Structure 1
């Protein structure tokens, strides 16, 4: 969209009392001395559209007098006529003072606040609708970027970088790797991780690997320190001494288990078994009968509990049947009384009074018939009632007749159960007497002659064993001394044997550590290769992205990455011209032109071309051409009043 300025009229706006500029959609230059209000023209346009100054902040546009006091009664007014792709658009905004009435004096007082009136094509409209109409034409932030050469570089570097990638596109890490065959091996290392994350991983692994490599010689030295000088041992001598000790120990066992000793121990074993058998037989004979009687007693007591339980259930049933019979007798008597009363009930009739149906007096000739009819009805009802009551009483009688036989049968059963209970109790009493008698006859086996005779035989045999033991003890002491002497020699040889095995393990450990060192060196080389690929990627990424963006501009060049001392790259966004950074030494003319170069690209991207106000344009001898309308603001000391040249 082409958005060109045709006219701009300013009245009582900041330092400008009244001025009209005729642009006619062409480039123009506005001349004026310092403080004459050149920049105010750009501010006025910004205020008209967005109610802000060039920095994007709300401003007070009311003029001040020589004492710097607001001339609040004046109405700052800005009117601009634009052409949008051939369509005319006129905008007007006025700032009016707001007053309030003094409650004491009734005088009108300025509230130090203001209200605006706005017009679109001379039609008054609300501020909300006004802002909406302008927003439909252009976004405020975009308008600043395409009309002010400084706006882009005034942004934070992150916003500048974001805008460049929005305008020029961005290449992903995957696209950069895919475009360079030398970087293809990176794919297998990344596995979904970011380049910088992988670099951190690799550096961490490399640091650990270097530490491990440095540690290997120390560990080898420690393992070698464990290797001690040893003399080879005579395995044949060692085996001979070990076999000799086994023979000596066998001789000791043979002595300890001599034939006489074995015979005597066998006799003692036989006597002990005889003694145990005697005790078992005695216990079996004396206790068996008691146990049998107690088992019978348990069974009888269990039966008694069952009989008592049956007796209780029968007694409960008898009581229940008696209660039910009593209830039926009472019910039968009540029903008989009811029949008696029904027999005694007599017929009564009155033929006085009006007919209950029509309310008229009953004729004399009909009274006798009515009485007869009532009597017949009474007799019929009484007969039916008595018949029903008789049936009910008969039913009660039949039901009650069943209880007495049942009670009689239950009482007979109770008698039988009580007899069984008495029989079982007699059995229990008899068993208790038998158990007491059997327990009184049990004797202590250890006090019998037969048992003590066996104990005496065992004591005599042990006495014989003690005499043999004394001789055998002397033989065993000699053999044990020889075994101890051999053991000392065996221990010395085994210690030497352990040292030889420890040396073998230490040498094997040294071998393992040297193999580990070779493996770690290979890992280190692999990690260095990964770092090389990552560095190559970073350099390729910087060249590729910066080249892709810079080709969109004539003058402007952008430094998008900083390479740090540690080899990492850090994102940035610095505008340069011929190698000179925008904020570090670039002169004003170059700043203006590079700003115009950026506006050209942004205008093309947003497809919006609006008037560019170039402040301090006198410092530029060759202003960069733009597709957008240019308004140069030029310092001219001889022009005390603003002058426009198109």
Structure 2
């Protein structure tokens, strides 16, 4: 059995505590008094925060720093919690310190807040968070520790989680044992192939629901079939009516065919005339194309000389632009060199001033002199300082001279570049003058050539005159017009009435054929009605069998429920647990309700709830072989606690106690 005892607890700047230290906790029961709001519950939060970085409500991100008079979080303070534990009488110390990080940014006068960091110490040795958590886990697992240190922790869990904890303590009765205890249960187990009991139960419920629904729908389906039976029909007359209507359709088809032949003769004659017109139009198009080419030749003007001059003009303009760009580039280079020379001359002037200032410095012998105690005469007892001064001065002057020589060399280099570029300026200037002269001459030649061109003829006028004078083209136009007059108008016959009559007859024949096909419908309907009546009886038996199996499952669950509740409740002395609720239909729903003397935990008085919590803690400690400090809030409400092996820290409300009093 691992026994954990809290020996000391110290808080600094934790929530409402500026500083509080509690030494020499008793290993059995301790009493801490204070009015509401004095910080009693904060002690438990601090203890849990120290171990796990969370409060009693399992929150990580919550405000632990104290507030100022304006209810604002205080800054530039560290939050600390320290504790000493006795684990099987071996002393262990733990510390958690929450620090602010402040950093001075380059160029800023004040430091900037950069967040927080946590320092963790275990047995006076700083450790990482991972190492600290591992060492705390060796003391106790977190969720278990919270359950055995807080009487209300278990009841605050979700009912499913509470149920898991209880089942892990008591252990469930195995299904195998129950299956072998009853013949009906044994038969049930044989049906659970590749499925759980709950899955099979769900399957049964779905099957029962489906079968009942099918049975309820059967009478309506039978009535629907009876209503769909058709009355007796004279099928012999139907055949006679079909033959009569088919004869009428044949007569209509003959009329439509004769009308179509008359129209086709006219269409064929018109097609022959259209082919002759198309041949003449082809001859006409060939003549017109020839006349269009002839008009183009008569109106053609030769501009090849002007086009050649324009090409030479574009080349000369390109060369002029390139020469201008080159000239501007050379001028920009000269400007850049001159700017560099100006900057270097300024640096040179600064170096001269720096040299004169350094050269004017003299050794201060007074600083290194001593006074003779006998004659009061001042003297320099060592010439080393003066040597060091002169050496340092000469080194600085030499460095300045080297910098000056380097600047002088660069100035001379840039001036040489300027002179070279000035000589290069002559070439692009000459090219610019040459290309500008060429451009002027070419423009003059283009204007001269344009003035020598003949006035162009109007191509469309020439073309129209050629068409008017062509006798063959005029003859073709007359022949085409004569043929077009021979084309006859084709008038389509109005067959819409005949087609409508045919369509109506076809629809009537289709309806008669469908009616004839229903001769065996009534017989099929009667057979189907018998099938549904037999199925209705069969469904009644199926439902009865399924409900019997469902009853066995419910009885199995109830036996298992009673066994589980008995096993769980045997582990506790003060509380009992209700692990299942019976539904109206007799089914069972899993739950987890804590009862204190038969009353639900939430309805019990404060003393009852505290002792119930202690009873749960006692069982958890016994099963897990561990005891830990238990923090009892509202201890003043309990006159007598049930016995416990754990250390008790009782938090008692005392309206007259402004600050916490430890006893």
TM-score with structure 2 setting the length? 0.49
Corresponding residue SS for 1:576:
strand
Q: Counterparts in 2 of 1:327-338, with a 5 A limit?
A: none
CA distance in 2, matches of 1:91, 1:224: 88
**How far is 1:90 from its partner?**
1.4
Relative to 1, partners in 2 of residues 1:70 and 1:512: Cα closer, same or farther, differing over 3 Å?
A: closer
1:181 and 1:87 mapped to 2: Cα distance?
58
- Aligned residue for 1:549, secondary structure, equals helix
**Do structure 1's residue 82 and structure 2's residue 85 form an aligned pair?**
yes
Aligned to 2:643: 625
C-alpha deviations, 1:201-256, integer Å up to 9, x for none? Answer: 33444445556666788899999999xxxxxxxxxxxxxxxxxxxxxxxxxxxxxx
Q: Is residue 2:34 matched to residue 1:15?
A: no
In 2 relative to 1, CA 517–44 (structure 1 residues): closer, same or farther, beyond 3 Å? closer
The residue correspondences of 1:348-363 to structure 2 (distance < 5 A) are none
Tell me which residue corresponds to 1:456.
none
| Deviation of the 1:163 alpha carbon | 2.0
Number of the residue aligned with 2:600: 581
Separation (CA, whole Å) in 1 of partners of 2:648 and 2:28: 8
1:155 aligns with 2:157: yes
Q: Distance in 2 between matches of 1:101 and 1:591?
A: 54
Checking the alignment, whether the CA contact within 8 Å between 2:13 and 2:78 is kept in structure 1 is yes
Q: Distance in 2 between matches of 1:626 and 1:166?
A: 22
| Number of the residue aligned with 1:528 | 547
For this pair of structures, how many residues does the alignment match?
370
CA 639–185 in structure 1, closer or farther in 2 if over 3 Å, else same: same
Separation in structure 2 between the aligned mates of residue 134 and residue 614 of structure 1, nearest angstrom:
23
Q: CA deviation at 1:571?
A: 2.5
Q: Cα 1:97–1:182, aligned 2, differ >3 Å: closer, same or farther?
A: same
Q: How does 1:590-629 map to 2 (within 5 A)?
A: 590-629=608-647
Secondary structure of the equivalent of 2:45? helix
Q: Judging changes above 3 Å, is the alpha-carbon distance between structure 1 residues 535 and 97 closer, same or farther for their aligned structure 2 residues?
A: closer
Q: Which of 114, 117, 126 does residue 115 from structure 1 map onto?
A: 117
- Give the direction of change, closer, same or farther, for the CA distance of 1:112–1:577 in structure 2 (3 Å limit): farther
SS in 2 for 1:179: coil
Change (3 A) 1:9 1:178: same
Offset, 1:164: 2.0
Q: 1:19 to 1:526 in 2, by over 3 A?
A: same
Give the structure 1 partner of residue 454 of structure 2.
none
* Partner-residue secondary structure (3-state), 2:627: coil
CA distance in 1, matches of 2:188, 2:73: 68
CA gap 1:161/1:224 in 2 versus in 1, 3 angstroms: same
Residue 549 of structure 1: which of 568, 573, 580 is its match?
A: 568
TM-superposed deviation, 1:151: 1.7
1:555 to partner: Cα distance:
2.7
**Cα–Cα, structure 1 residues 86 and 521, in superposed 2: closer, same or farther, change >3 Å?**
same
Map 1:465-476 onto structure 2 (within 5 A).
none
Distance 1:66 1:81, change over 3 A: same
CA drift of 1:618 comes to: 1.6
**Cα offset for 1:83?**
0.8
Q: 1:107-166: CA deviations, max 9, x gaps?
A: 3x3616333333322233334322222122222222111111222222222222222222
How does the TM-score come out when normalised to structure 1?
0.51
- Please state how far the C-alpha of 1:562 moved relative to its aligned partner: 2.9
Q: What is the CA deviation profile of residues 350-408 of structure 1, one whole-angstrom value per residue up to 9, with x for unaligned ones?
A: xxxxxxxxxxxxxxxxxxxxxxxxxxxxxxxxxxxxxxxxxxxxxxxxxxxxxxxxxxx
Question: Counterpart of 1:83 in 2: which secondary structure?
Answer: strand
Q: For 2:551, what is the secondary structure of its paired residue?
A: helix
1:640 has 2:658 as partner: yes
Gap change, CA 1:20 and 1:217, over 3 Å in 2: closer
Provide the rounded CA distance (Å) in 2 between the counterparts of 1:26 and 1:10. Answer: 22
- Structure 1 stretch 132-141 or stretch 573-582: which is displaced more? 573-582
Does structure 2 conserve the Cα–Cα contact (< 8 Å) formed by 1:97 and 1:110?
Answer: no
**1:320 corresponds to:** none
Contact 1:25–1:83 (Cα < 8 Å) also in 2: no
1:93 is aligned, of 87, 91, 96, to 96
Question: Relative to 1, partners in 2 of residues 1:542 and 1:13: Cα closer, same or farther, differing over 3 Å?
Answer: same
CA distance in 2, matches of 1:510, 1:152: 63
Q: Which residue of 1 aligns with 2:142?
A: 140
Give the 3-state SS of the residue equivalent to 1:560 in structure 2. strand
How far did 1:553 drift?
Answer: 1.8
CA drift of 1:612 comes to 0.9
Aligned partner of residue 180 in structure 2, secondary structure: helix
Residues 220, 188 of structure 1: alpha-carbon distance in 2 compared, 3 angstrom cutoff: farther
Q: 2:69 matched to 1:66?
A: yes
Determine if contact 1:157/1:574 at 8 Å carries over to the other structure.
yes
The residue number in structure 1 matching 2:265 is none
Q: Distance in 1 between matches of 2:89 and 2:136?
A: 17
| Partner residue, 1:106 | 109
User: What is the rounded CA distance, in whole Å, between the counterparts of 1:20 and 1:36 in structure 2?
Assistant: 15
Q: Counterpart of 1:46?
A: 48
Q: Deviations over 1:1-59 (max 9, x none)?
A: 11111121223322123322221423211111112111121122112112221122234
Q: SS of 2:642's equivalent?
A: coil
Change beyond 3 A, Cα 1:512–1:78: closer
Distance 1:188 1:223, change over 3 A: farther
Q: Which runs of 5+ in 2 are unaligned?
A: 229-519
Please report how far the alpha carbon of residue 104 of structure 1 lies from its aligned counterpart in structure 2 after TM superposition: 4.2
- Following superposition of structure 1 onto structure 2, how do residues 444-459 of structure 1 map, counting pairs within 5 Å? none
Cα RMSD (Å): 3.6
Name the larger-Rg structure: 1
Query: 1:633, CA displacement in angstroms?
Result: 0.7
C-alpha change, 1:523 and 1:93, in structure 2 (3 Å) is: closer
Instruction: Look up the match of 1:371.
Output: none
Q: 1:526-554, CA deviations, whole angstroms, 9 ceiling, x for partnerless residues?
A: 33322221221222222122222222222
Structure 2 CA distance for partners of 1:517 and 1:621, relative to 1, 3 Å: same
Partner of 2:332: none
Shift in Å at residue 95 of structure 1?
3.0
Relative distance call for 1:103 and 1:597 in structure 2 (3 A) is: same
1:58-92 CA distance string (max 9 Å, x none): 34433233233444344333221111112111122
Q: Is the 8 A contact 2:554 2:588 kept in 1?
A: no
Residue 385 of structure 2 is matched in structure 1 by none
> Is 2:6 the counterpart of 1:5?
yes
| Residues in 2 aligned to 1:105 and 1:201: alpha-carbon distance in whole angstroms | 74
Equivalences for residues 420-439 of structure 1 within 5 A: none
Distance 1:20 1:211, change over 3 A: closer
Q: 2:236 is matched with which residue? A: none
Q: Paired residue for 2:28?
A: 26
